[in-house]
DNA sequence: AATTGTCCCAACCGCGCGGTC
DNA sequence: TGACCGCGCGGTTGGGACAAT
């Protein structure tokens, strides 16, 4: 099958868009909606192919786009979602409604990927590069399970993303004040001043919790059943057997649902808050943190933090929006300092590397949990 | 000040999927 | 059933901006 491509059509312009072209496209779409992209250029008086128009609109002109630097929370979300979904930028973008897939993809390729790389974490697998450790461990199997279940989640998210797109298209003539997100179009209620809601599809956290919870409590996820199915997986669970991904038996996974009870008797969320406060307190002692960190850094040359281990932290602290504790780096620090007694013991060499993958995944989980309760992203 | 190197992002390109005829 | 079409996605690239020499 030979398709006619944009560049094959004579007389069509390529390259950067001029303000005049932008104005034409913007005016046309605001007035009529985009309709058929193929037919749009002629109707709008543009010497462009429809594809180019669509790209310009979706990546630049669309009013519900947030431009500019990504904040720390967005960075975290991207990393979490990438760990879960891989290079499915459109699916990731549905969770960052004001960002385009192209923008996220660019940001990942130019910033986040390099940053993870510098930390010694494979940006593709989100696992430490030297993956010899951990192989054969229980958690390695857990990672495989996660991967399997992430496929389910990914497929579900794709379907949901499609629904979101369709719902957008179902608005034939986008209002001129289309300054809200695409999501707000979904739930639009003219008389309502309700804040923009997240799409209904954003129960990824629950799915994720279910995935992880079933992984640890059921012990087998070989079933082909979707982890995001309507089966109750966590809400009804009490007294979660907190088989932590950390070696520390007193450490608990902090992503359980609110009615779940930790083995310490506090709820998971309480524990999480307390835990983070504890981390925060520790972080108030920068010298101590640095000492501990440095000692950790010196453990092993192939550690994920070897080399430019400050990269993440420098960037985070440089971000004016970054709260002191609200960061991936901080959680990594907390995990590495607080949750791993081995760090202060004599068996650091044996245990540190083995825990890194755990730390990373647990950090993701903690972040997802934190973002559920406190962020607008989840 | 000029040149070279690097980074970043908007835009392009090709592929695959789903719908229609 | 298969050809065709429109669209969206993900990978790649061109060129401008900025930094280093």
CATH number of the domain to which A51 belongs: 1.10.10
The answer as to whether A332 is a domain residue is no
Q: How far apart are CA A349 and CA A346, in angstroms?
A: 8
State chain A's mean pLDDT as an integer: 53
Structure confidence at residue A302 (pLDDT): 32
What mean pLDDT do residues A257-275 have?
33
Which nucleotide in the DNA or RNA is closest to residue A87, CA to C1'? C10
* Residues 6 or more apart whose Cβ sits within 8 Å of residue A9: A49
The answer as to whether A265 is a domain residue is no
Q: How far apart are CA A352 and CA A121, in angstroms?
A: 15
pLDDT band at A164 (very low <50, low <70, confident <90, very high): low
Cβ burial of A273 (10 Å; 0-12, 13-18, 19+) is middle
pLDDT band at A171 (very low <50, low <70, confident <90, very high): very low
The answer as to whether A144 is a domain residue is no
pLDDT digits (tens, 9 = 90+) for A87-116: 888 888 888 878 888 888 888 888 888 888
User: What's the alpha-carbon Rg for chain A, to the nearest Å?
Assistant: 23
pLDDT band at A361 (very low <50, low <70, confident <90, very high): low
What mean pLDDT do residues A42-62 have?
86
Structure confidence at residue A207 (pLDDT): 45
pLDDT band at A180 (very low <50, low <70, confident <90, very high): very low
Is 60 exceeded by the pLDDT of residue A157? no
Which of the two residues, A298 and A354, has the higher pLDDT score?
A354
Verify that A55 and A82 share a domain, yes or no: no
Is 60 exceeded by the pLDDT of residue A70? yes
What mean pLDDT do residues A219-226 have?
33
Is 80 exceeded by the pLDDT of residue A16? yes
Q: Specify the CATH number for the domain of residue A80.
A: 1.10.10.60
Is 70 exceeded by the pLDDT of residue A134? no
Name beta bridge partners: A127.
A122
The answer as to whether A295 is a domain residue is no
What mean pLDDT do residues A197-215 have?
41
**Strand B bases contacted by the protein (CB, 7 Å):** 7-16
Select, from the ranges A69-73, A128-132, A146-150, A372-376, the one with the highest average predicted confidence (pLDDT): A69-73
Question: Å from A370 (CA) to B20 (C1')?
Answer: 46
How many structural domains does chain A have? Answer: 2
pLDDT band at A167 (very low <50, low <70, confident <90, very high): low
What mean pLDDT do residues A217-244 have?
31
Strand C within 7 A of A369 CB: no
Percent of chain A clearing pLDDT 90 (strictly above): 0
Is 80 exceeded by the pLDDT of residue A206? no
* Torsion angle (degrees, nearest 10) of CA A110, A113, A114, A118: 170
The answer as to whether A154 is a domain residue is no
Which nucleotide in the DNA or RNA is closest to residue A68, CA to C1'? B9
Determine the structural domain holding residue A104 and report its residue range: 72-119
Q: Which helix (H) or strand (E) holds A147?
A: helix A138-169
pLDDT band at A158 (very low <50, low <70, confident <90, very high): low
What mean pLDDT do residues A224-237 have?
31
Structure confidence at residue A162 (pLDDT): 53
The answer as to whether A356 is a domain residue is no
The answer as to whether A101 is a domain residue is yes
Half-sphere exposure in the Cβ direction for A82 (13 Å, CA):
23
Question: Å from A354 (CA) to C15 (C1')?
Answer: 45
Strand C within 7 A of A47 CB: no
pLDDT band at A277 (very low <50, low <70, confident <90, very high): very low
**Strand C bases contacted by the protein (CB, 7 Å):** 3-12
Which of the two residues, A200 and A7, has the higher pLDDT score?
A7
Please say whether the beta carbons of A363 and A259 come within 8 A. Answer: no
pLDDT band at A151 (very low <50, low <70, confident <90, very high): low
The answer as to whether A331 is a domain residue is no
Task: Considering only residues 70-99 of chain A, list those whose CB is below 7 Å from strand C.
Answer: 87-91
Structure confidence at residue A49 (pLDDT): 86
Please give the model's pTM, rounded to 2 decimal places. 0.53
What mean pLDDT do residues A271-295 have?
35
Final residue of a domain: which of A51, A84, A119?
Answer: A119
pLDDT band at A10 (very low <50, low <70, confident <90, very high): low
Which nucleotide in the DNA or RNA is closest to residue A61, CA to C1'? B10
Which of the two residues, A315 and A128, has the higher pLDDT score?
A128
Please say whether the beta carbons of A285 and A324 come within 8 A. Answer: no
Which of the two residues, A278 and A19, has the higher pLDDT score?
A19
Which nucleotide in the DNA or RNA is closest to residue A34, CA to C1'? C7
Strand C within 7 A of A264 CB: no
Question: Å from A215 (CA) to C16 (C1')?
Answer: 49
């Amino acid at each position: 099958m030979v398709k006619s491509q944009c560049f094959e059509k004579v007389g069509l312009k390529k390259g950067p868009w001029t303000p005049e072209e932008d104005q034409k496209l913007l005016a046309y779409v605001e007035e009529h909606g985009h309709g058929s992209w193929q037919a749009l250029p002629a109707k709008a008086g543009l010497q462009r192919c429809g594809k180019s128009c669509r790209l310009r609109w979706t990546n630049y002109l669309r009013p519900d786009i947030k431009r500019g630097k990504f904040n720390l929370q967005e960075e975290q979300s991207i990393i979490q979602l990438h760990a879960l979904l891989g290079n499915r930028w459109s699916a990731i973008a549905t969770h960052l409604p004001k960002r385009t897939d192209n923008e996220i993809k660019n940001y990942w390729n130019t910033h986040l990927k390099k940053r993870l790389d510098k930390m010694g974490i494979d940006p593709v697998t989100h696992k430490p590069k030297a993956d010899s450790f951990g192989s054969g461990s229980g958690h390695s199997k857990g990672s495989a399970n996660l991967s399997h279940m992430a496929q389910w989640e990914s497929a579900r998210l794709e379907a949901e993303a499609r629904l979101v797109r369709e719902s957008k298209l179902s608005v034939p003539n986008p209002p001129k004040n289309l300054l809200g997100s695409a999501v707000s179009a979904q739930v639009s209620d003219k008389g309502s001043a309700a804040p923009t809601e997240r799409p209904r599809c954003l129960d990824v956290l629950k799915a994720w919790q279910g995935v992880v919870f079933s992984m640890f409590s059921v012990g087998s996820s070989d079933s082909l059943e979707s982890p995001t199915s309507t089966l109750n997986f966590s809400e009804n669970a009490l007294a979660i057997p907190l088989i932590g991904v950390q070696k520390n038996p007193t450490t608990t996974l902090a992503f359980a649902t609110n009615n779940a009870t930790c083995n310490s008797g506090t709820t998971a969320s309480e524990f999480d808050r307390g835990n983070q406060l504890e981390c925060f307190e520790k972080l108030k002692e920068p010298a101590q943190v640095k000492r501990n960190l440095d000692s950790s850094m010196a453990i092993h040359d192939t550690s994920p933090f070897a080399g430019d281990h400050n990269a993440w932290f420098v960037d985070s602290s440089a971000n004016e929006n970054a709260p002191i504790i609200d960061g991936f780096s901080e959680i990594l620090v907390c995990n590495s300092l607080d949750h791993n007694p081995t760090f202060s013991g004599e068996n650091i060499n044996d245990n540190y590397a083995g825990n890194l993958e755990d730390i990373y995944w647990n950090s993701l989980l903690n972040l997802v949990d934190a973002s559920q309760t406190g962020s607008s992203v989840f």
